Amino acid sequence: MERKACHVILPAIMPALFFLIAATPVETLGCFTRGLLALLVALVSGFAGLGTAIMSAAGRRRGDVHAPWWVISTVILAIPVVALLILA
């Protein structure tokens, strides 16, 4: 896969999924289910963001020229966590 697809488009699925769940009417899923799904997506995104941050730090130590792509992935994956903190 191309770097843009791996480091931008694939991580962007998590914020899109989070905001799709947050925008779903309460009557569709119920308040409790909707909240649990949003929490689950934010947790998975947060753990994936930690993994990409570790990959970025390891790449910078090695002098990898592609390490900034991992930082971009980390920032994108942090969006649902920050949104959950703001919305909660």
Tens digit of each residue's pLDDT (9 = 90 or more) over 57-67: 999 999 988 89
In a 3-state reduction of DSSP, which class is residue 41? helix
pTM: 0.90
Which is nearest to 20 in space by CA: 85, 88, 83? 83
Which is nearest to 58 in space by CA: 40, 73, 70? 70
Which residues in 1-88 belong to E strands, given as ranges?
none
For 29-68, write each residue's pLDDT tens digit: 899 999 999 999 999 999 999 999 999 999 999 998 889 9
Write down the domain spans for the chain: 3-87
Residue type, 8: V
Per-residue pLDDT at 88 exceeds 90 = no
Per-residue pLDDT at 85 exceeds 70 = yes
Portion of the chain with pLDDT greater than 70, in percent:
99
